[in-house]
Structure 1
Amino acid sequence: MRRDIEFRTEDGVTLRGWHFPAKGVDGPAPTVIMAHGFTATREIFLDDFAEVFAEAGLGVIVYDHRGFGVSDGEPRSHADPWAQIDGYRDAITWAQSQPEVDAERIGIWGSSYSGGHVLVVAAIDRRVKCVVSQVPLTYGLETARRLIRGDMWTGLRAAFEGDRAARMAGDPGAKMPVTAPEGQPSALPTADTYEFFMGFQEARETNWKNEVTLRSIEMFTEYEPATYVSRIAPTPLLLVVASGDHLTPFDLTARAYEEALEPKKLLVLPGGHFDAYTDEPFRISSAEQRDWFVKHL
């Protein structure tokens, strides 16, 4: 039975989530730390993955990033990749202090935006003994250039500059929708993004809000997790990609995988970016991810 947890980051922000105890384990258990992608919150399918891992004897800690869901943090709806990376590292520190956790057997899991984060964390934090990165952002600027029409960039850059000036003058900063119907401005302008988030809101109760700071989008374009990939080894890396992904494009993730050193494994799923969370791709992927963590933790 999962329980609610909370812990404080090094700079004093309270992050909240769930702990799923490892089934059939007496004493400290190998533990996987999980957080979601760009603006997403814990209840958007992370519990499904956590339950699969827990059934295999892995403890799981799932939490919301600062400024999202049930976690504290201001400004709200602000996705700072480096603050989120620090959140993972603070989660590791907290987990290692818990009696249910084997401090020497910590794995990390991330998907989409946080799939990029775990590549960085695994490269710089040797407390991580195993990593799974699902449909990750790898090259921020190149991905953004595929999502945003070329004739829109001049106006977007001007908006970034205007937002900086406004924040300097004391304004809280602009926000925009994460997703919107086709043709309307949004941070992630793909039809499958809109279908995924709107469909989930109808199907389940969620703390997700359809808003993100403009500064978050600027930071997205400056974020390059792939530059860290060659430094992950000797930590084992499972990289999960979707063959039809156009939000975090398959070819960019495959390019990043080529930069990784052994031990590594590439799992290619059918479908698009969001199919990785549901139905047959989920069944395939969650089993492979479970086995990877069990093997290496």
Structure 2
Amino acid sequence: MRHDIEFKTEDGTTLRGWHYVPGGDGPKFPTVVMSHGFSAVKEMYLDHYAEALAGVGVASVVYDNRNLGASDGLPRQEVDPLQQIRDYRDAITYAETLPQTDAERIGVFGSSYSGGHVLVVAALDRRVKCVASQVPLISGHRNARRLVRADQFAGLRALFDQDRRARLRGEPPMTMPIISEDPAGPAALPTADSWSFMSATHLLRAPSWKNEITLRSVEMFGEYEPGAHIAYISPTPLLMIVALQDHLTVADEALAAYERALEPKKLVLLKGGHFDAYVQDFHIAGTAVSDWFRQHLVTAG
């Protein structure tokens, strides 16, 4: 069963999303908190993961990140990873208040950018009893160096500086497209599969998604290092799902980070690329996620 929800963060921003509650016996269920990746909104297949969890007796709180989709927040279309981490923790606090939530059995799930967020959240917040991180960003600096050609990096840095000076003068943040059909065109996610997946999903099921992001979001991406926290997650059980052909949040960085994680942990490998986990490989990824939370939140509870 799915209900629309909204809740306020500590700074008063309203975030909106869905609360999924399993059928059957209750009244309290283990609950997983989840939000989406860089610029993405909840309609971009997070409902499939929440439904899979409900099928194994796990509730979920699913929400749009601030400044995006149905959630409030300014400036619109800005992605601040550290603020999103704080919002994850506020969402956990909100989940604790729901009468259907067993507050002793809370987990977090994230994918792509939020796959990095949940590594940080699980390392810092011991209310989290289980974590699943799918195709995660590990190092913003190293990943950016893989996505942006070396001869273009100085020009991008100059744009960051220009934007910073303009904001100090009171001008609105500069923006850029998230995806581009032209591989050489300016885009925050400059890969062909980013264009294919996000443009198609926007038309099919996510009309609130916008192909725009603040330039400052891209600068913050390059400063973000969620993989630095991975060794501190233990003893919280960690599931990592890595797509071997992922060249957006590159697979070798995720695999190296997994080796730095301590037990208990589990690695699931997908043969495809970054976005395949949501659709064509969902039967693998979704089953792995639901089995992991069932094992550590339902059976172990």
1:172 match: 172
**1:13-61 CA deviation, whole Å, 9 max, x = no partner?**
0000000102223111000111000000000000011101001100011
1:187 match: 188
TM-score (normalised: structure 2): 0.97
2:258 match: 257
Q: Distance in 1 between matches of 2:157 and 2:169?
A: 19
2:32 and 2:106 in contact (8 A); partners too: yes
- Tell me whether 1:71 sits opposite 2:66 in the alignment: no
How many residues end up aligned between the 2 structures? Answer: 296
1:22 match: 22
2:41 and 2:206 in contact (8 A); partners too: no
1:150 match: 150
| 1:76-87 aligned within 5 A | 76-87=76-87
Q: Distance in 2 between matches of 1:227 and 1:205?
A: 32
The amino acid of 1:173's aligned partner reads P
Q: Distance in 2 between matches of 1:211 and 1:269?
A: 29
User: Aligned Cα RMSD in Å?
Assistant: 0.7
Identity %: 57
TM-score (normalised: structure 1): 0.98
Q: Distance in 1 between matches of 2:206 and 2:127?
A: 35
Cα deviation for residue 79 of structure 1 reads 0.3
Q: Distance in 2 between matches of 1:93 and 1:203?
A: 33
- Long gaps (5+) in structure 1: none
2:244 match: 243
1:102 match: 102
1:28 and 1:100 in contact (8 A); partners too: yes
Cα deviation for residue 202 of structure 1 reads 2.7
1:223 match: 224
Q: Distance in 1 between matches of 2:173 and 2:41?
A: 22
Q: Distance in 1 between matches of 2:22 and 2:106?
A: 13
Q: Which runs of 4+ in 1 moved over 3 A?
A: none
1:139 match: 139
The amino acid of 2:218's aligned partner reads I
The amino acid of 1:90's aligned partner reads D
**Structure 2 counterpart SS, 1:121:** helix
- Long gaps (5+) in structure 2: none
**Structure 1 counterpart SS, 2:255:** helix
| 1:109-124 aligned within 5 A | 109-124=109-124
Q: Distance in 1 between matches of 2:176 and 2:66?
A: 18
